[in-house]
Chains A and B, each alone.
Chain A
Amino acid sequence: MTETNKITRRAALLGLSTALAAPAFRPSFAQAAPIKVGVLHSLSGTMAISETALRDTVLMMVEHQNSKGGILGRRLEAVVVDPASNWPLFAEKARELLQVHRVDVTFGCWTSVSRKSVLPVFEELNGMLFYPVQYEGEEESKNIFYTGAAPNQQAIPAVEYLMSDDGGSAKRIVLLGTDYVYPRTTNRILRGFLNSKGIADADIMEEYTPFGHSDWQGIVTRVKTFANQGKKTAIVSTINGDANVPFYRELGNQGIRAEDIPCVAFSVGEEELAGIDTRPLVGHLAAWNYFMSVQSPANTEFKNLWQAYIKNPRRVTNDPMEATYTGFNMWAQAVAAARTTAVDAVRTAVIGQEFAAPAGYTEKMLPNHHLSKPVMIGEIQADGQFNIVYKTAEAVPAENWSRFIPENANRRRG
């Protein structure tokens, strides 16, 4: 490859990506260089099912922000890349966004492993990443802002609810999860929490399945056996992504009703339910920080914006989309406040930003780079939406270092 070739290749690359990804150029903007927004979500491979909606959300926000006149009088320009659900490719694409496209901010990642893969890159090149998905905590990078829930904002309140009178006073808990770090850590935290509430290890069943597990017959049968030991039992599911549809089908078909063995899930939202007939599942639960059925002016605005952009009534909104939306707005506010897109200045400005989120609460970016968020528990309805049966009075601040993991006491700080 000769050098001239390389230059033209790079020029072609920039030109093409601009042409493909940028919204229509608006002549009303001043000639200042556009602010570049990187979008690092898988558009192919196993994670495309979840991540494409987040790509659409960021593109919607870029378009919306431009229609409001951009930021600092500068137009926003999205740079979309496809890391293809491949973790080393995530790191490569992150490097490309930061070094070749020189983006000012990146919105991206879904799985923890993709975040772990890009983290060293963002730290080395001092980039800024907004990560919008609930995760296991145990992390805090100065270059990442975490706009999804930490375990104390989702898992623990949900289990507390199951053990309350309203939730059915569960005395035995089944922890079912996909075998990766989020369920493992969450379940470890939950076990510590349950033990502290007087539930013995004999009353906890823990089982893991591979990604995309589709044959749940045996496990559901074992759950039934475990549940028929004379104490009220509930399931806590950290089953990820694709495996949920066959799992819920099996629950429904084996006649596990929410009245008998309620199942609360942390990774099942409106998007996942779109693929299932939810009538046999009415009453099973999910814990999130946002539901599409939230009644708030901010949510109405969010949903209208989404429908105006996507133009498909079948497409729902969900929690990670709301977290992306909130994160984007906080970043935009911070850039406006800092009067620059320079990462160091914006980072300082993001902390302390408040935003009236679609969840109906004012959320705030805390110094630990996580948000304060309300916790909500919803019951699945026959129409695939959630009926909110519990929500916290106020937004709960995130504890990314859980107090139920004893090793956190020895953690190195700074």
Chain B
Amino acid sequence: MSATTLHAPPLSRTRLGLRALMGAAVVILAAFPLLNMLPQDNVLHVSDFLVSVSGKWICYAILALSLDLAWGYAGILSLGHGAFFALGGYAMGMHLMRLIGPRGVYGHPTLPDFMVFLGYQELPWYWLGFQSFPFAMLMVLLVPGVLALVLGWLCFRSRITGVYLSIITQAMTYALMLAFFRNDMGFGGNNGFTDFKELLGMPLNTGAARATLFYASLLTLVGCYLFCLWMTGTKYGRVLTAIRDAENRVRFLGYDTTSHKLFAFVASAMMAGLAGALYVPQVGIINPGEFSPGNSIEAVIWVAVGGRGTLVGAVLGAFSVNGLKTWLTSAAPDLWLFVLGALFVAVTLFLPKGLVGLIQGRGK
């Protein structure tokens, strides 16, 4: 990205090509649950495992997209996006826990199992309302959004940028991780939430539920992609890119950089929260490990691998790194960290524009 583009770049052939790639990927993914219904010996059969694992990758792709909006377009390198993801996941997890109701091991009408055997007498106040799906969805967006608003307002106002901002966001997710690990917080401590039963009336351990969640995630991914595409194309988006490249110049030109950045950061945090909410019912667990700083850094690396500053790149990065990880943790359980580590090193050294850069390079 050059430092001078305040005008929207013309739709080049590579740009169109990338969008076509994204469209094709969405169509192929959309076919997965259908292909899953084919008989097992059919060449086109997609295994149950691939369907469930790709549902998870889609959630990661939404997280990557949200990070790319903050980092690739607004220049805010958040090393704490995992926290927004996890908070969204926790909000959804609380809803799922409430839905278990009296079907828990101890048969308590309202309290989740972990509260019963830790001796809670009544539900903590912050758990109230989560039995309602609309309320839970509101919280999925609101909690990460408000946190991002407060943190962003404090940081951007003090003109904290670059590395300092990264370290502060990292400290934020680390502090949240330590806090959520405490059992006294009422979020189940290290065990977090598991053994969910149903969502919106459908039992979660069925193929139909998996397919539904899969499509919901895919739709959200497409929605977020279109939203980002639209947003980065507007005048607002172009100012954002300008702030990324030379914040002081934009400020001296009279733009309110703080609120521009703040909007992007909050929107990005909400998207991450949404990704977390879709992720939890699919993997069946949420625990404070999701807050670990390493997870957030990994998400940044997906974006870097795919190509920072291009929306397709973020999605591509999330899919390729996680696909590689799923494959290697079985195929080379002792060596996968070397492969992944070497990939990160190689991408930052040789592919500063990521995988998308490779495609663009060929397009020119």
Contact = CB atoms under 8 A, between A and B. Distances in A.
Nearest to B51: A99
Q: Give the interface size bracket for B toward A.
A: 35 or more
Interface in B272-310: 279, 283-285, 287, 289-290
Contacts of A79: 330
B11 interface: no
Contacts, number: 152
B332 A188 contact: no
Interface in B328-354: 329-334, 336-337
A180 B114 CA distance: 11
Contacts of B164: none
B297 to A, nearest CB: 14
A407 B56 contact: no
With most chain A CB atoms within 10 A of its CB, the pick from B113, B188, B189, B329 is B329
A7 B195 CA distance: 32
A185 B191 contact: no
With most chain B CB atoms within 10 A of its CB, the pick from A17, A87, A89, A208 is A87
Nearest to B319: A1
B52 interface: yes
A185 B195 CA distance: 19
Contacts of B333: 20-21, 43, 80-82
A119 B329 contact: no
Contact of A138 (B43, B49, B117, B196): B117
B28 A405 contact: no
Interface stretch (B100-108, B139-147, B154-162, B257-265): B100-108
A95 B330 contact: no
A180 B331 contact: no
A297 B25 CA distance: 61
Interface stretch (A109-117, A258-266, A276-284, A366-374): A109-117
Given A87-B289, A188-B118, A17 B194 contact: no
Contacts of B337: 44
B245 to A, nearest CB: 35
B118 A91 contact: no
Interface in A1-28: 1-4, 6-7, 9-10, 12-13, 16-17, 20-21
Given A20-B332, A411-B107, A100 B49 contact: yes
A1 B327 CA distance: 14
Given A92-B56, A181-B183, A43 B285 contact: no
Contact of B119 (A84, A101, A188, A412): A188
Contacts of A34: none
Contact of A120 (B44, B106, B113, B194): B194
A311 B133 CA distance: 57
A84 B194 contact: no
B195 A116 contact: yes
Interface in A373-407: 405, 407
Q: Which 5 A-B pairs have the closest CB atoms?
A: A82-B333, A180-B190, A99-B49, A16-B331, A88-B283
Given A2-B28, A16-B331, 18 more contacts: A1-B28, A3-B44, A81-B330, A81-B333, A84-B329, A91-B283, A95-B53, A113-B285, A139-B105, A184-B118, A184-B183, A208-B182, A211-B181, A407-B106, A410-B106, A410-B108, A411-B105, A412-B105
9 contacts: A16-B332, A44-B336, A95-B53, A96-B49, A99-B48, A117-B285, A179-B189, A188-B117, A410-B108
